[in-house]
Amino acid sequence: MNNSTNAKIKVLIADDSAIIRGILEKSLKVDTRFEVVALVSNARKAIDYVKTHPVDIVISDIDMPELNGIEALQILTGELNIPVAIFSEDRTQKENAIANGAALFEVKPPLSALSTGGLKPFIDKVYNKAKTLNAHKSHTVINTENVNFASFKVLCIGASTGGPTAVQVFLTGLGNNFPLPILYTQHLDVDADKKMAAWFDMSCPNLSVSLAKDGEVAKAGHVYLAPANVHLVIDYINSNGEPILKLSNEPAERFLRPAVNKLFRSAAEHYKNACLAVLMTGMGRDGAEGCKEIVDNGGYTIVEDKSTCAVFGMPAAAIELNAANEVLPRPKIAPRVLQLVRSK
């Protein structure tokens, strides 16, 4: 959620009753603090929606077909880090809902009360919970007025401690047919790179993952992992706008080879405002200066929020340099990237 005081709370409503969905939507639409982004009839549809669209809070019933509200809570709050306000007739489920992560539990009043404006206290609670819980999880850090979101030609990723697990979550969230080549530098021990590339290729079936090769043409929908003990950089861009990769034996930077900064700087140099980069969990400061160069050249950077980092070192350093366009918890990064690269 944007930290701007004028930013509206994005709400998804999940209820198998069309009448309840309609009443909630009407009450929220007349409140200028909210934007109703979707109405769905069950929790499965709610989960599918939030995976690819930004949502600040979900208002959900419990008793629904396919997937009940309690089961959905475990996914929405536990895995996707989305606050959920339960709105249910079954008051006996309150303790269970709160135990499973519900930010709020409200018993549905009679329909007569709903139709006469009786939702105002509940809506105020929803607003306060969404505002509080999202305040430090997802925010724009620097001005993005000059960013052309439809122009990205390459995606770069950098990570260190805790990186493989974090990046696996991110990559699987990109779905099928991702439209950009993906260049990825991970701090690795020597001899661990081949196993790491094979693990990613197996655990991310939506994308092809391999160790980068010198002189290789990077193709859309493919992930190129920097081999151990060499820097991965972009040598030049071919006539089709594709990056030609180079494996460099230049000295280690801050004792690191490969270094995220090397990759990010080369992408900033060659792609300017067509460069999109994601910096995830890791110890130290590698990648921060590279993020700064990307931003200074008109590109766009997203760094992982402290709430989901194994080590909040590299992302924190980028934030300190004012080099993060956005700071997002891990589950929200892939949906945001998809939104950026597919915007027109």
Indicate which residues carry an active-site annotation: 160, 187, 286
> Which DSSP state fits 90?
-
* CB proximity list for 334: less than 8 A, separation 6 or greater: 51, 169, 170, 171, 172, 173, 174
Report how far residue 97's alpha carbon sits from residue 72's, in angstroms, rounded to the nearest whole number: 10
Residues 273-282, buried b or exposed e (16+ Cβ, 10 A)? Answer: bbbbbbbbbb
Report in angstroms the alpha-carbon separations of 179 from 158, 202, 330.
19, 20, 21
Could you tell me if 236 and 217 are in contact, meaning their C-beta atoms sit under 8 angstroms apart? Answer: no
Token representation of residue 159: 């990570």
Residue 22 CB contacts under 8 Å (≥ 6 apart), including other chains: none
What DSSP element (H or E) covers 248? strand 243-248
Which distant-in-sequence residues (6+ apart) come within 8 Å of 7 by Cβ? Answer: 1
CA angle 241, 247, 251 (to 5 degrees): 130
